[in-house]
Structure 1
Amino acid sequence: MTTIRLVQGDITQESADAIVNAANSSLLGGGGVDGAIHRRGGPAILADCRKLRASLPHSRLRSSGGTPIGKGLATGRAVATTAGELDARWVIHTVGPRHSGEEDRSALLASCYRESLRVADELGARTVAFPAVSAGIYGWPIDDAARIAVATVQETRTVVEEVRFVLFDDRTYRAFAQHLR
């Protein structure tokens, strides 16, 4: 049985077997959690991400101007790299969906958690720290993101012993606490 804990704080300060990164599809770092993990973890994470990108099938990644930019990780998928200087063995990168008012992308968000746990199982991770995937710059409403995250982790069969949701602010912590009851 997996224990679920909530922590309010900075995910880059956590000690766990695996820390989940709310990555963008390029895997090359970005803003929010993604940028913080890359900065704190150091260049080893980026080097591993570059190697992973080279092994991924071509995708439809495009620049803001519409120019094709090569390979990337599909939304809802997860892959692992070294954790560099973080207090973890691995970083599991997952690409969350952007929230949409026109299209229900809840299954893609749930897939981020399931796929991350699948990768954690393959690695032999016993403790995994998750951020609130897609609840930052990807615009997912906090209450709905918390509902999907908690329900998905509770329903997913895994050998991970402890899942820790590391939530940056009080509002997000309260939303997750409400759904964990």
Structure 2
Amino acid sequence: MAFGVREFELTLMHRMRDVNAEKVEETLDRIGATRAELREAHAHWTRLTHAPRAPKGAGALRRALGPPPHRGHRPAGSLTCDVLRWTLPTWPGLAYEALVGPGGELWNQWFVRPSGPVATDFAGLAPWACVVADVVASFPGAVQIDGPAPQHWTVDFCHGGSSHRARFVYGLLQRLDPAP
């Protein structure tokens, strides 16, 4: 099995399935993929990440996705990181961003809105339509919290007198829950 954009998207969906299985199933049907393909793409990516001679970090992303259409730099404290972005067909209007440290190590990878955060109201918080920055920009006082697993984030915020927890995988909104 070659490993390209489709397989990479399936790999992302494998992790998203933990939080929003219904959306993943709906998307698999829409793109004509099976659960077996989803599992095989994840297993293949896992084998690649542990193979001694396979590229690591941003090199693995480049191998799967090709050269990034966007390259830039961003200060991170006293260091500067490289910013690499790819567009993926399943998530139009968003970009998959990798932040790469000075030594080539992958610092972060997640979905972003290339034009910057978009303010939305509570009704606009739809799964796979918002990224972390959108929620933080839309609800003053929102607090980002590390999620319970790798590549998971949560953002707690208040709206309408209630506390809410937005759950993200790879920076992409998966669902809203009442905040504990």
TM-score (norm 2): 0.28
Higher strand share: 2
Which structure has the greater CA radius of gyration? 2
Higher helix share: 1
